[in-house]
Homo-oligomer: A and B are copies of this chain.
Amino acid sequence: MAARAGIVVTGTEVLTGRVADRNGPWLAEALRARGVDVGSVVVVGDRPEDLRAALGFLAGAGTDLVITTGGLGPTADDLTAALVGDFQGRPSALDPALEQRIAEAVARLSARRGWRMDPASTAAGVAKQAQVPAGATVLEPVGTAPGLVVPVADGRTGPPVLVLPGPPSELQGMWPAALAAEPVRRALAGATELRQSTLRLWGTPESELAAALRRVEDQLIGLEVTTCLRDGELEIVTRYGPDAEPAQQRLVQAVTADFGDTLFSDGPTVDELVAAALDERGWTVGIGESCTGGLLTARFTAPPGSSRRVLGGVAAYADDAKTQLLDVPAGMLAAAGAVSPEVAAALAEGARRRFGADVGVGVTGIAGPGGGTAEKPVGTVHLAAAGPDGAAARSLTLLGSREAVRQRTTTLALHLLRQLLLGGPAA
């Protein structure tokens, strides 16, 4: 039986979506890699009764470890540490040595940021952050907030609660120390290796895959299979213990046999495949984009080290920008319109030449919600890619919101480039 953990993410700003949670997924993945199963992530606001209810829910169900994130700041709505102490039956008290270390960290940080701090309010915040439940293990602050491991009070039963800060960089920086803490090690001692494998298809409907999996389901015992369709990519993720490795091999064979023409990856994302294909040839890329307005270039430049292969991109929203920065002929814009296969090809060629890149990518379309016509409805997109050995193009009409059209167009552009560089399923 694998070890099980439950996660509570706190913060009204997360509950209401003003801030997207990155800690729940990060922790779930970090735990999975160690063979620890996460059944659920509970997001609660900054209300004590909701946090208490979530702790009660997660501590109940055969869980070996409960993890909280957030609510460790200096303000009154940051109530996690004290509340977890109460929940575990361990009242909190000031740790003077910790108070001193936090005060020093705050002083360093405010000096760096150039903040003028009021000494009294700073001291009040520091004293709040230095409250430690009796018998808890302190995890040294990465920013200014310490983490805690709070075991249940003597004589009671229940999992320990690991209390981590909300800023992802602080949480991730504290993670090795959290894993090394004795109560956490003991809680996760039962964990066994859990493997994960991903297959990616491009252009297969989810129902086709479902039917194929149903035909072989009695050969897949021991696999937890999840399928997910996103931006036209169909992802098959399996999780399994070492014993189920033969079943995993049978799954891969079955998918390859039935969907070899749309299977494009046994792991890497399309972004990673394209980057590797460019790097292998020592090629560079330049982007000319209209409807995606910078989003495609931002996706190309997201990975560390991308300056090795990305020379740049022009987001040419205005027609003048298309002609003057990317040499799209004004006559072509007048005759075919800015949203046309001709202009997509001209944007790719223009980006290739102006950046002096080996490969150019061009995208034009109507992201909406306005700007559509009967002939060119919202969601119309034209894509083109041009390289030393040839070119590729695709035109289609997408459904969905402005955000969805912009996002999906970047995925289509990456698949077009994948097809040009590596072959495989047509974009």
**Chain A interface residues toward B at CB < 8 A:** 11-20, 22, 24-26, 28-29, 32, 38-47, 49-50, 53-54, 57, 61, 73-77, 106, 110, 112-113, 115, 117-118, 120-122, 124-125, 168-169, 203, 205-214, 217, 224-230, 235, 237, 287, 292-302, 304-307, 310-318, 320-321, 324-325, 354-356, 368-371, 397, 399-404, 406
Closest to A172 in B: B401
Nearest opposing residue in chain B for A205, CB measure:
B115
Q: Which residues of B are found within 8 Å of A45, using beta-carbon distances?
A: 38-40, 226
Given the known A-B contacts A76-B210, A77-B227, are A293 and B314 also in contact in the complex, defined by CB atoms under 8 Å? Answer: no
Known: A301-B294, A310-B317, A321-B355. A19 touches B228 (CB 8 A): yes
Is B25's CB under 8 angstroms from A209's CB?
no
Most interface-central of A19, A294, A314 (chain B CB within 10 A): A294
- Asked if A315 and B293 sit within 8 Å, CB to CB, the answer is no
B16:A29 contact, CB within 8 angstroms: yes
Q: Which of B39, B73, B211 touches A47 (beta carbons < 8 Å)?
A: B39
9 contacts between A and B (CB under 8 A): A41-B43, A76-B210, A121-B210, A169-B399, A287-B294, A294-B297, A304-B402, A311-B318, A312-B315
Partner of A320, one of B25, B229, B356: B356
Contacts of A11 in B (CB 8 A): 226, 228
Q: Which residues of B contact A110 (CB under 8 A)?
A: 205
Q: Which of B76, B299, B304 contacts A213 (CB 8 A)?
A: B76
Q: A25-B16, A75-B227 are in contact. Are A293 and B300 (CB under 8 A)?
A: yes
Decide if B312 touches A73 in the complex (CB within 8 Å). no
- Name the residue of chain B whose CB is nearest to the CB of A61: B53
Which chain B residues lie closer than 8 Å to A210 at the CB level?
A: 74-76, 121, 124-125
Contacts of A39 in B (CB 8 A): 44-45, 47, 49-50, 53
